[in-house]
């Protein structure tokens, strides 16, 4: 009917992405082509490199609009299961009923609207038991097994099911998460892995830094970049442990109190964990940062 108003979403371009996410244009272009070719990608990097922030904006920039209806995000954890993801029996007033999970529902939505692209985002993808959560769909998410031709029977209701070709999966994982086992090989094969690195040297961050025009801030950023070189060189750490830029973002102006708090309460606890067996190193590096704020 005429009175059903069509919702219009704001446009969102590659330029918008590069303004929002501190990444180089070359990296962005590579990221998009990886996702288009493979259909599944994992953004990996240290805490604070802006993986979650980038994932949604990557989806918007590929769709060309900020259409929130075509992007869904879930977070994996140790007790997340196939039943939450695909389907399973859940207690109801009359006993048990078959409930559809997040991924199943989203696939169905994408299937009906095959002209548009859909993005399923999984935060902390390595915290869940991947082969348990995906079950028989582990094969179907592969690019070559997408679409109607490759249907498979679901465990719970014998329905034939396929993963649509217009659906992309973006996972995120922290490389500094030492307590977690690496993702198993079966999954590794089905995803491209993209390293997200701190964006201090990107055009976007430099522009942000210029606008803030704060000498103390610039000194701290230089010190963090130097610290990242130390971390990358450290044999027990490495690049995946570098400190991300997002701790320092989204400020209109900078004051010393705020900067001190970021160092004391965000960065210092991380460094303590990194150098848990070397208190002297931890103190030295933390004091170095704090001494810049007078």
Give φ, ψ of 163 to 5 degrees: -95, 120
Burial of 102 from C-beta contacts in 10 A (0-12 / 13-18 / 19+): middle
* 41 DSSP assignment: E
Find tokens 């679901």 and name the residue: 154
Q: Which residues contact 195 (CB under 8 A, 6 or more apart)?
A: 44, 45, 175, 239, 240
Per DSSP, 77 falls in state -
> Cα–Cα distance between 65 and 245 in angstroms, integer?
26
Task: Please give the torsion angle defined by the CA atoms of residues 17, 22, 28 and 34, in that order, rounded to the nearest 10 degrees.
Answer: -110
Q: What is the pTM of this model?
A: 0.90
pLDDT-flagged residues of the chain (< 70): 1-5, 178-184, 186
Q: Which pLDDT belongs to residue 47?
A: 83
- The model's pLDDT over 125-183, given as tens digits with 9 standing for 90+, comes to 988 888 899 998 988 999 999 998 999 999 888 899 999 999 999 999 988 775 555 56
The pLDDT value recorded for residue 181 is 54
Predicted local confidence at residue 180, as pLDDT: 54
Cα–Cα distance measured from residue 151 to residue 147, given in angstroms and rounded to the nearest whole number: 8
Encoded tokens for 135? 């079950």
Q: What tokens does 260 get?
A: 């001190």
Measured CA to CA, the distance from residue 256 to residue 262 in angstroms comes to: 10
pLDDT at 175: 82
CB atoms near residue 147 (< 10 Å): 16
Per-residue pLDDT tens for 65-74? 999 999 999 9
């Amino acid at each position: 009917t005429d009175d059903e108003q069509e919702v219009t979403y704001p446009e969102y371009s590659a330029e918008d992405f590069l303004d929002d996410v501190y990444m180089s244009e070359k990296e962005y272009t590579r990221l998009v082509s990886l996702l288009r070719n493979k259909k599944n990608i994992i953004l990996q990097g240290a805490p604070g490199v802006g993986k979650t922030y980038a994932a949604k904006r990557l989806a918007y920039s590929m769709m060309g609009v900020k259409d929130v209806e075509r992007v869904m995000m879930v977070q994996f954890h140790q007790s997340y299961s196939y039943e939450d993801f695909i389907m399973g029996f859940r207690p109801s007033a009359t006993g048990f009923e078959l409930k559809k999970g997040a991924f199943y529902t989203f696939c169905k939505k994408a299937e009906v609207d095959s002209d548009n692209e859909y993005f399923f985002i999984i935060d902390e993808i390595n915290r869940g038991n991947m082969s348990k959560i995906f079950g028989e769909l582990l094969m179907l998410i592969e690019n070559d097994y997408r679409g109607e031709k490759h249907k498979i029977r679901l465990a719970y209701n014998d329905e034939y099911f396929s993963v649509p070709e217009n659906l992309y999966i973006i996972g995120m994982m922290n490389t500094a998460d030492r307590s977690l086992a690496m993702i198993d090989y079966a999954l590794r094969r089905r995803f491209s892995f993209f390293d997200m690195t701190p964006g201090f040297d990107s055009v976007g961050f430099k522009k942000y830094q210029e606008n803030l025009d704060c000498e103390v801030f610039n000194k701290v950023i230089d010190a963090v970049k130097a610290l990242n070189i130390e971390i990358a060189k450290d044999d027990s750490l490495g690049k995946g442990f570098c400190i991300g830029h997002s701790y320092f973002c989204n400020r209109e102006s900078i004051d010393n109190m705020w900067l001190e708090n970021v160092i004391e309460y965000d960065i210092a606890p991380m460094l303590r964990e990194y150098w848990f067996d070397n208190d002297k190193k931890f103190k030295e590096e933390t004091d170095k940062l704090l001494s810049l704020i007078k």
